[in-house]
Amino acid sequence: MNTQIKKAFTLIELLVVIAIIAILAAILFPVLTQARTQAKKTVAISGQKQLGLAFIMYTSDNDDQLPRRNGCELNTSLNTKLNDGVLRCSGGTGFGHSMTWQSWQKYVMPYVKNVDIFSHPLRTKDATDWNQNGQVKNAFALNLGITGAVTASFLSNPFSGGTTSGVANPSQAILLMEHPNAYAAPFLVGNTAPTGEVTPQVVYPLAIREFWRAQFYKVTGSNNCAIATPETFESAGVGPAQGIVLGFADGSAKFMQISRFLGNTPRAAEYLSVGGFPAAAGTYSTNCRPLSPSNAYIVTAGTTINTTINYPMWGLGQ
């Protein structure tokens, strides 16, 4: 009588198969992760472009003026849970109904009608800030050096006039940018902090390479502005794609590597006549961000600002 003996896998054969699967996984997982990152980066570029076009529609409806708002308007929070009839414009109740630059998304909300577009698909929105203030942090930031800003204590006039037509090379000048832990890219102001709306101060883009290096690299020192040695990217600053998405004044958008972004930004010695970086008068928090006021980098007294240098990414030059 013939009997068939079923041959089972040996332990060695099973281990070989497992090893092959592990090798394939090690090869494929980084590729899949990279593909997901690339897909989300594409979504971020598309979202940034839509926001840029929304700003163009805003200026079309407002005599070419880029938005600068102030005040507190009931039930205007982007987080609808905060629209409960309680006015939220103070530290005690949060800032859900503020209309200043920290909530710039409200300026173009009527044109995009989509809160999700303000978030960055590769970054995690600050949950505390969203839940308490209805503000979107760790996504896209407004370039206050181009738009200017208004609060209860000051009014600023951008050197370019605060209009889209006043911006030199709008297809290259950044209006919006991917920026961690900030609502806006600060402006640069001469000598003293803005003090009131009676005498507006002229402000400029914070186009200082040393400042932006401190946003993307790990820092050290008491002022949080010195780059640590060895030079190492800060993961929050550069993001998973090791670059940032930029939105331009003409409504276009693109991704830019950190090295190119820094190369398109002048050094302090090119932009400022005296004082260097960081300015002695300033106080700084994490990664050299201005501490007080949080939206203004104040240059050293007696400094003149050279807006004729050819750095079109910052609206500088002819």
Task: Report angle CA 25, 29, 30 to the nearest 5 degrees.
Answer: 130
Does residue 137 lie within any of the structural domains?
yes
Does residue 6 lie within any of the structural domains?
no
Q: Before 293, cis peptide (omega within 30)?
A: yes
Q: Supply the mean pLDDT for the chain.
A: 88
Distance CA 26, CA 20 (A): 10
**pLDDT over threshold 70, residue 29:** no
Contacts of 232 (CB under 8 A, 6+ apart): 217, 218
Q: What is the pLDDT of residues 121-142, one digit of tens each?
A: 999 999 999 999 999 999 999 9
- Closest Cα to residue 136, out of 62, 77, 216? 77
Contacts of 9 (CB under 8 A, 6+ apart): 17
- Closest Cα to residue 53, out of 253, 217, 291? 253
Contacts of 177 (CB under 8 A, 6+ apart): 140, 141, 143, 185, 244, 245, 246, 247
- Over residues 203-223, mean pLDDT: 92
Which carries the bigger pLDDT value, residue 143 or residue 222? 143
Does residue 101 lie within any of the structural domains?
yes
pTM score, two decimals?
Answer: 0.86
- Over residues 227-247, mean pLDDT: 92
- Total tally of structural domains belonging to the chain: 1
Does residue 10 lie within any of the structural domains?
no
- Over residues 240-254, mean pLDDT: 94
Q: Judging by beta carbons within 10 Å of its beta carbon (0-12, 13-18, 19+), is residue 161 exposed, middle or buried?
A: middle
The listed range with the strongest mean pLDDT (19-23, 143-147, 153-157, 198-202) is 143-147
Q: What percent of the chain clears pLDDT 70, i.e. is strictly above it?
A: 92
Does residue 1 lie within any of the structural domains?
no
> Look-up: residue for tokens 């203030």?
133
Does residue 149 lie within any of the structural domains?
yes
Residue type, 155: L
Distance CA 88, CA 26 (A): 50
Q: What is the pLDDT of residues 56-91, one digit of tens each?
A: 999 999 999 999 988 999 999 999 999 999 999 887
Range of the domain at 95: 17-314
Contacts of 271 (CB under 8 A, 6+ apart): 207, 208, 305, 306, 309
Q: Assess contact for 240 and 175: CB atoms under 8 A.
A: no
Q: Assess contact for 60 and 111: CB atoms under 8 A.
A: no
Contacts of 253 (CB under 8 A, 6+ apart): 45, 46, 48, 49, 52, 176, 245, 246, 247
Contacts of 110 (CB under 8 A, 6+ apart): none
Q: Assess contact for 191 and 303: CB atoms under 8 A.
A: yes
Distance CA 255, CA 86 (A): 40
Q: Assess contact for 127 and 133: CB atoms under 8 A.
A: no
Does residue 100 lie within any of the structural domains?
yes
Does residue 3 lie within any of the structural domains?
no
